A = this chain, B = another copy of it.
Amino acid sequence: MTCTSEYVPQLRARGFRMTSQRLAILHVLRHAGTHLSPSEIYRQAKRDYPGLTEPTVYRTLELLSDIALVRPSYNSSGHLTYEIAGNDHHHIICKQCGSEIEVEHTLLESLYRLLETTSGYRSIGSHVTFFGVCPQCQTS
- Which one of B110, B124, B135 contacts A130 once the chains associate, using CB atoms below 8 Å? B124
- Pair A115/B130 contact, Cβ less than 8 Å: yes
Cβ B107 vs Cβ A120 within 8 A:
no
Q: Which of A93-140 contact B (CB under 8 A)?
A: 94-95, 101, 103, 107-108, 110-111, 114-116, 118-125, 128, 130-135, 138
Give Cα A130 to B123, complex, Å: 10
The CA of A78 and the CA of B74, in the complex, are separated in Å by 9
Q: What residues on B are CB-neighbors of A80 within 8 Å? A: 78
Q: Are A123 and B132 in contact (CB under 8 A)?
A: yes
Give the docked Cα–Cα distance between A134 and B108 (Å): 20
Q: Which residue on B lies nearest to A95, using beta carbons?
A: B125
